[in-house]
Chain A
Amino acid sequence: MSTNKDYKWIGTRPIRPDGADKVTGRAAFGADKNLPGMLHAKILRSPFAHAKILSIDTSAAESASGVLAVMTSADMPDLASEMGEAGESAVDFRDLSHNILASGKVLYHGHAVAAVAATSAKLALAALKLIKVEYEELPVVLEIEDAMADDAPILHEDQFTPGGSKDKPSNVAAKMKLPRGDIDKGFAEADIIIEREFTTPTVHQGYIEPHAVTASMSASGHADIWCCTQGTFVVRAMTAKVLGMDVGKIKVTPSEIGGGFGAKTTVYLEPIAVKLSEKTGRPVKMVMDREEVLRATGPTSASVIKIKLGATNDGKLIAAQGSLKYGAGAFKGSPMAPGCMCVFASYEIPNFLIRGFDVVLNKPKVAAYRAPGAPMAAFAMESLMNEMATKLNLDPIEFRLKNAVKEGSVAAYGPKFPVIGFVETLEAAKAHPHYSAPLGKNQGRGVGTGFWFNIGMQSSATINVNESGSVTVITGSADIGGSRASMALFVAEELDISYDLITPLVSNTEEAGYCDVTGGSRTTFATGMAVVKASKNLVANMRKRAAKTWGIDIDDVTWEDGAAIAPAAADKQPLTMAQIATSAAKTGGPLTASASLTAQGAGAGFGVHICDVEVDPETGKTDVIRYTAIQDAGKAIHPSYVEGQYQGGAVQGIGWALNEEYVYNDKGVLQNFGFLDYRMPVANDLPMIDTVIVEVPNPSHPYGVRGVGETPIVPPLAAVAEAVNNAAGVRICHLPISPPRLLAEIDAK
């Protein structure tokens, strides 16, 4: 492993290769793809949150002006329930299909029921009104605990709780249990025990770019899909499954992607666009509007989390118990499991019991959102850690240091931690001037920490050398925040050539080797690993070419400064990469190298955030006035984009803590379906977000990289809540800490 070495390129901050196109408007995003003769399709959505579909009559719409095709779930194959790996987590393809177009029942307000393709978006919208759907309304269930009740309205008559009744269907789709030691004994030995229940609301990822796709089906049965996605290969796999096609007949070309944060790892529109294109023989474009995005795509789970924590007077955690309930939305698959695995992962606790529940209810099916499941769990656990520190009269960071996991600790979810940087990150937070800066009236400070596993999975990379010695690097990993720059930096470092000679491309599913989704903070880690491996293969190949040219043994050729050299043969002038490339025809043909792998050893990421707020006791309004995000990156390949991940994640967490929530009426109709009322942080809500990059290299990566994208959203919820507690003297267990809620708490004091 190459650590503590001076790198020429790794760790520098060059301008990103795709930057110029993005500041001039040239970069093409999802909705920017147009094809000649293209149709526009729109979706009819359910006006009820829970209802049986008795009949759908599309005849009037079909004969409406400009309409070329109408489709419903009847146009898609009837799939049996089948779990498959897609994206970061498992998915049931039948659920996926029924989410794309409702079959038999609608399960949330905004659930897609039918789609119309017409010569213009306006005509398609007009035709939607001509589709007659007969519904039988059913009782609606929106809250997790209501959905778990014995007499709850049942969403799926064929869903039974594993290990539960086999006759009585249930909204509890899955349960999980993680035990260690003996909690009764542990709590009996505890000097202080705190128990509280925490809730978090449904929130949306809030990417600025709505979902968009253009699809074109050829007469030979090949489908071309252009869309904004975090994973072209996932779009291909899901579309193939849902439409009963072979993956080899689908080509997915990624546009630039205007944010995803995990939610663009599934499909909503793509199979519909392909099917409508097949029906009409014309390209079909579909673009969601903001209301559709909020009503019917990937929010993340609301949660109800109860934790009981026991510690001894010397500040050691001795027992913990957690019950974590996550709302999945209309179909199973909340991030309950990662939530359970994360909740106690940062601390050494000899006795614990974790129980998790995955609960369906009449809201849109949740999608991944940055460290899925972890922020809610950390809100509960870290809030209690802060309260416990106060009770123990210990500094909150000191208290965490006494219990922090380190190399060799057995993680709550099973494996032994390799080299990790939690202690180093806590120490860096403690030493930061922010931590000891004075506070004013109505101001308070809070800390929170966060953990995320990070993942490896499959990646491929190809490097082609041009005859001038410049190179193209091709991967299939969507660039959602600067990963092209990282890929170019890896190649520059490995080949020892200038960053400017490298063009990194994100290519389609037919030209790039297989890559799993850009998610789980895996791209710089795993695709980066493939790029490094391909670079090493290329260097070996170029050394071979030089050896051949010189008529010496390859072992006598080394690579330095972008050239082959023969240290032992003084008469051999270095052969530069350009020279080797120019003469490639004579030494064995074009220079190209590939690598593919299943990356092992993703390094866990730990973060510590320090937040200062000022609370207005008259209005209950909270302003974040200073914020510092400290996190172990392993090794920052392009530090600016690492900082950007810390800052962006922190601010999403601040929004989650202070403002964001889905507001439903009792019929299950979302009331705040636009950016005006679904209030995400804007520039004047925030201070600068300071960052500290801690670097404890991941021994499994050639440059020590750990994923960085997800951890930053984990600490803020508790950090903000604790800061509010210290400013206003009220302990908030229910998010968001909106002004009316905080004011009520202050008044009740």
Chain B
Amino acid sequence: MSKTHVTTTINGDAVEYLCEVDQSLLDVLRDTLELTGTKEGCATGDCGACSVSLDGRLVCSCLVLGVEAEGKQIETIEGVANGTELHPIQQKFLENAALQCGICTPGFIVATKALLEKNPDPTEEEARYYLAGNLCRCTGYDKIIRAVLDAAAEMRGAA
């Protein structure tokens, strides 16, 4: 099968790749571009491990086709920190011990960033509902939610 040529922007870099028409954006990121920070937990849109931002919208990259990225702006976990300087959300996840195994963490951080861009001052309940699409089996969510609220407070203070 011949592949489709796609031109897109990932974490600010102009990127071109060839992909099969039925290949998911998740597979393109992980297998073609070796951006393996984005994780696969289900490939059916049910776990959020593959969360990325597509033109500012939070999506499950396992439900987006690689060809759909044409001309779009994609942001993945690899683009959240500023060089070696962690984003406040990343820092707060560490300080709050909001990860155990860490497989869900990239997805949670990308989703939290999307949440706080929309709603810089979420209540606990709003944070829980916004992040309901991200599964974590290790933490019971307590420390994740605390990290999210802590990061929100820090970012409001910094703004």
Contact = CB atoms under 8 A, between A and B. Distances in A.
A209 B50 CA distance: 12
A290 B105 contact: no
A682 B41 CA distance: 15
Nearest to B95: A15
A676 B137 contact: no
B140 A258 contact: no
Contacts, number: 187
Interface in A282-341: 287, 289-290
Contacts of B40: 31, 210, 287
Nearest to A30: B103
A211 to B, nearest CB: 12
Contacts of B99: 19, 22-23
Contacts of B31: 34
Nearest to A691: B142
Nearest to B106: A25
Contact of B137 (A20, A482, A680, A683): A680
A27 interface: yes
A508 to B, nearest CB: 19
B145 A688 contact: yes
B41 A209 contact: yes
A220 interface: no
B90 A683 contact: no
Contacts of B133: 682
Q: Is the interface of A mostly helix, strand, loop or mixed?
A: loop
Contacts of B93: 19, 23
Nearest to A19: B94
A650 B81 CA distance: 32
B47 interface: yes
A684 interface: yes
B79 to A, nearest CB: 9
Size category of the binding interface on chain B:
35 or more
B135 interface: yes
A208 interface: yes
A640 interface: yes
Contacts of A205: 137
Interface stretch (A174-182, A360-368, A641-649, A662-670): A641-649
Given A676-B44, A676-B46, A482 B97 contact: yes
Given A481-B138, A648-B139, A648-B140, A256 B101 contact: yes
A205 to B, nearest CB: 8
B42 to A, nearest CB: 4
A392 interface: no
A129 B95 CA distance: 49
Given A25-B38, A209-B41, A259 B137 contact: yes
A16 interface: yes
A648 B142 CA distance: 9
Contact of A675 (B42, B90, B100): B42
B94 A675 contact: no
A274 interface: no
B142 A480 contact: no
Interface string B127-152: 11101111111111111111000000
A208 B104 contact: yes
Q: Pick from A24, A480, A647, A683 the residue with the most CB of B within 10 Å.
A: A683
A34 B133 CA distance: 29
B141 A651 contact: yes
A508 B96 CA distance: 30
Interface string A670-682: 0000111000111
A29 B43 contact: no
B74 interface: no
A257 interface: yes
Interface string A624-662: 000000000000001011011101111110000000000
Contacts of A682: 132-135, 141
A99 to B, nearest CB: 23
A257 B138 CA distance: 12
A23 B94 contact: yes
A207 interface: yes
A13 interface: yes
Contacts of A674: 42, 44, 46
A569 interface: no
Contacts of B139: 644, 647-648, 651
Interface string A259-272: 11100000000000
A260 to B, nearest CB: 8
B78 interface: yes
Contact of A208 (B38, B49, B140): B49
Contact of B47 (A20, A31, A208, A480): A208
A383 B44 CA distance: 37
Contacts of A27: 102
Interface in B1-47: 20, 30-31, 34-44, 46-47
A28 interface: yes
B76 interface: yes
A149 interface: no
Contact of B78 (A24, A209, A256, A688): A24
Given A258-B39, A259-B138, A647-B143, A16 B80 contact: no
Contacts of A207: 101, 103, 137
B90 A290 contact: no
Contact of A23 (B35, B90, B129, B131): B90
A260 B102 CA distance: 12
Nearest to A34: B34
Nearest to B49: A208
A261 B86 CA distance: 30
Given A22-B105, A644-B100, A682-B135, A675 B41 contact: yes
B100 A481 contact: yes
A640 B97 CA distance: 6
Nearest to B78: A25
B132 A23 contact: no
Q: Which 8 A-B pairs have the closest CB atoms?
A: A25-B37, A258-B103, A651-B140, A22-B102, A640-B97, A647-B140, A675-B46, A25-B77
Given A640-B97, A650-B140, 7 more contacts: A23-B105, A24-B80, A29-B36, A31-B39, A675-B42, A682-B133, A683-B141
22 contacts: A22-B105, A23-B93, A25-B36, A31-B39, A207-B101, A256-B103, A259-B103, A259-B138, A261-B137, A481-B101, A644-B97, A644-B100, A644-B139, A648-B140, A650-B140, A651-B140, A675-B47, A676-B44, A682-B133, A683-B129, A688-B142, A689-B142
